Chains A and B, each alone.
Chain A
Amino acid sequence: MSARNRLRRVMVVIALGAPLAALLLSGCATTSVRAFQRERLTDRIMTFQADASDAARRTKSLEAREGSTGGNGGAGGGCACN
């Protein structure tokens, strides 16, 4: 592997990892949101889970037409044939 490729991979790892680390660290600074303050967060128009099935079906369909994948936090097996 060339030095350029190694550098490139390091940059990719940093690019992928830095935002996650920043988020985790930022958790220390956020104001605590208590359970009784989460009414809006549990509304169906706000939850991540409400879109999960749509996102999963779309991922399957679009990865048969585009060169990338991901974004749902999970992987599947088999053939995406649509």
Chain B
Amino acid sequence: MRVQLTSKTVGAALAAGLCLSGTVTARAETWFDEQTAGCLMQYFTDSDHVAVRSAIADYTVALRKASIAMHYNNERVVIPAIESPPGSQEAVDAITTASRPISGNAYSDFVKVRNEFEGSYRQGGIEAGYYYSGESDYIGQQVRASVDRDLRGDQLNVSVGASYGWDAIEPVQDDDTNTGASSKKTTHFNVVATQVVTPSTMVRVGVEYNLVNGLQHNPYRNVYAGGTNVPEQHPDNRQRRDLFLKVNQYLPNRSSLKINYRFYNDDWDIQSHEIGTRLSQYLVRGIYASYEYRWYTQGSSYFYRNEYATVNGIDGYRTGDYRMAVLASHLFGVALDFDLEKLEVKVPVLDRMGLRCNYERYFNSNNYSANFLTTQVTYRF
């Protein structure tokens, strides 16, 4: 298990994102206007030899005046063996990017499976959903709701959303830490406005607020402080807020440019900036390529130190998590999308399908790098 500073998952974020994004041009673009099914496979590997396989299925049922969306994700995570005795400094370093208990034979790979499910119901401009994620040492649940309205003759859409998540954390046996069962609660609010500016330009701006209470550090991680190894300790409370701005511009020659910016800060004193761009270009009718770049930078939390002089750390807090430190990262991506209907494939079934292949390369200032390979198939009924 890796304990996140805030609990987010692809299922909930996906549905929330789809819900919100589906409101962009209101009646002209309704996400749930047809019944669809899709499956996605993603392979992830990184420079620490962590490997994740994700198998995702989505299904949307269109009702007369409403729709139901379902999402399922099965993930298999392989975290490599610890190449040093439990409790040693090397073992601490070895788990800074992927957590695992050090128990019994830590010299073998640690494998875990996670299952996620989400269901949501949407009618008119109202949507409600439930999310569940289960694994051997972590169960996360969440309820959410959002309301959106078209205003100013459908030029502007405003969405207001909220969610409440509660996670149960029960660390498995670990030889050098003794963290007991714990919990985490996350309350989230967001307001998102989308404006049609011109026939070729759309702008979206949003603010988000998260209040997190509970266990927010890695229960398996030790920190070298005051000349010895002691369990990691983060504050129990965290307020996180961000502002994001997105601009989509249609360009001549059937291409588009998307630019986004996000500013984030929290009361642990982390402040970050993110800038992303994506250029999409039709190669032929029904096939387009996308090229992407993302730049990210952040400051450190007030309790992060390279070395702690005493076991009390800073105000009783100490961390071995590099995400609490100054960090910069880059991401490059390339994708290819096929719409077989527009390609006029005259084969039943195939002419209702869409395909997508995507590769992303990520690296950051901690000499960490990762690869994402994704393939996706969608089918419209």
| A binding-site residues for B, Cβ under 8 Å | 12, 15-17, 19-20, 23-24, 26-28, 30-33, 35, 37-49, 51-82
Contact = CB atoms under 8 A, between A and B. Distances in A.
B153 A48 contact: no
Contacts of A76: 7-13, 16, 131, 140, 142, 163, 165
Contact of B240 (A57, A69, A77): A69
A54 B288 CA distance: 16
A5 B131 CA distance: 36
Contacts of A72: 13, 16-17, 20
Interface residues of B, number: 133
A19 B21 contact: no
A28 to B, nearest CB: 8
Contacts of A49: 17-18, 21-22, 24, 29, 31
B172 interface: no
Interface stretch (B86-94, B224-232, B252-260, B344-352): B252-260
**Secondary structure class of chain A's binding surface, majority of residues:** loop
Nearest to B270: A67
**Secondary structure class of chain B's binding surface, majority of residues:** strand
Nearest to B360: A58
A76 B274 CA distance: 20
B149 interface: no
B194 A70 contact: no
B8 A45 contact: no
B332 interface: no
Contacts of B29: 38, 41-42, 47, 49
A52 B131 contact: no
